[in-house]
C-alpha cells in the first residue's frame, strides 16, 4: 500500500480473480447483477436461490491476504459509491449519497483561483444531479443541496441556470430488480 503501483496491481489481481474464480460463482442461478468499482462490489441476488453469506465465504476463501466484508440492504436501501439504491416493489430508485464526513466546501467564489477551477465542482454536482436517474423529488432535493453549497461558498444560485443550459441532460439507466442487494467491500 502507498506505492504508485499499488492501485494498478490491485486492479490486476481483482480482474484476474474475476476472470478465473469469481466468474464461476457469478454464473450460478440467483446472481442477477455484479458491479465493481475498485474494491467495492454490489451484488444483486435472489435470496430464495442464493445465500449471500455463502458468497461472502467464497470471496474470503479466494486468498488469505484478502478480507471481504458484507453490508446488506436495510429498510430496502443500500449505499453504493455516491448513490443510495432504494428498492420498491416495482424497481430500484436512486438518491445521491453523501458520507457523513462530507462537507459542502468548494472553492469559494471570492478566492483567487481561475474561474474554470471554481466552476468545476459546481459542474460536477450539477452533472451528477442531471445524469443519475433520480425521481423528481430526489432531483429537486439534490438541486436544493447544491444551492445551499453555492450559498455557503458565496455564489449566486442563478449560476445553476446558466450551467444547466450548457449541460446536456442525460440519464444513466440501471435495470430495475425485485431482488436483494448486498455490498461486499475488500480490505487488503
Q: For the residues 144-172, what does the mean pLDDT come to?
A: 79
Give the dihedral of Cα atoms 106, 110, 112, 113; nearest 10 deg: 30
C-alpha cell at 151: 450559498
DSSP H or E run through 60: helix 52-60
Q: Please name the residues in contact with 36: beta carbons below 8 A apart, sequence gap of 6 or more.
A: 14, 18, 42
Per cent of the chain over pLDDT 90 is 59
Position 2 pLDDT exceeds 60: yes
Q: For the residues 42-71, what does the mean pLDDT come to?
A: 91
Q: Please name the residues in contact with 181: beta carbons below 8 A apart, sequence gap of 6 or more.
A: 42, 43, 44, 45, 72, 73, 78, 80, 85, 87, 92
Cβ-contact 181, 76 below 8 angstroms:
no
Q: How many Cβ atoms from other residues are within 10 Å of residue 75's Cβ?
A: 7
C-alpha cell at 71: 453490508
Cβ-contact 181, 78 below 8 angstroms:
yes
Q: What is the pLDDT of residue 167?
A: 54
Query: What are the structural domains of the chain?
Result: 6-74+175-187 (3.30.70), 83-166 (no CATH)
Q: What is the pLDDT of residue 179?
A: 61
Q: For the residues 14-19, what does the mean pLDDT come to?
A: 92
Cβ-contact 149, 106 below 8 angstroms:
yes
Q: How much is the pTM?
A: 0.76
Q: For the residues 108-133, what does the mean pLDDT come to?
A: 93
Q: What is the pLDDT of residue 7?
A: 86
Mean pLDDT score of the chain: 86
Q: What is the pLDDT of residue 161?
A: 81
Q: What is the pLDDT of residue 165?
A: 72
Q: What is the pLDDT of residue 114?
A: 93
Position 177 pLDDT exceeds 60: no
Amino acid at each position: 500500500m502507498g506505492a504508485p503501483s499499488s492501485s494498478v496491481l490491485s486492479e490486476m489481481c481483482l480482474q484476474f480473480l474475476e476472470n478465473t474464480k469469481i466468474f464461476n460463482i457469478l454464473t450460478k442461478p440467483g446472481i442477477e447483477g455484479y458491479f465493481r468499482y475498485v474494491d467495492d462490489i454490489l451484488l444483486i441476488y435472489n435470496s430464495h436461490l442464493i445465500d449471500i453469506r455463502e458468497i461472502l465465504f467464497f470471496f474470503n476463501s479466494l486468498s488469505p491476504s484478502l478480507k471481504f466484508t458484507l453490508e446488506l440492504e436495510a429498510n430496502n436501501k443500500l449505499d453504493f459509491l455516491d448513490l443510495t439504491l432504494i428498492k420498491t416493489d416495482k424497481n430500484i430508485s436512486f438518491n445521491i449519497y453523501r458520507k457523513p464526513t462530507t462537507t459542502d466546501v468548494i472553492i469559494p467564489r471570492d478566492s483567487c483561483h481561475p474561474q474554470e477551477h471554481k466552476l468545476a465542482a459546481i459542474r460536477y454536482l450539477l452533472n451528477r444531479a442531471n445524469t443519475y436517474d433520480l425521481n423528481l423529488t430526489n432531483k429537486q432535493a439534490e438541486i436544493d443541496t447544491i444551492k445551499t453549497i453555492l450559498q455557503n461558498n458565496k455564489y449566486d444560485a442563478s449560476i445553476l441556470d446558466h450551467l444547466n443550459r450548457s449541460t446536456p441532460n442525460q440519464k444513466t439507466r440501471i435495470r430495475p430488480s425485485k431482488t436483494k442487494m448486498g455490498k461486499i467491500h475488500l480490505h487488503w
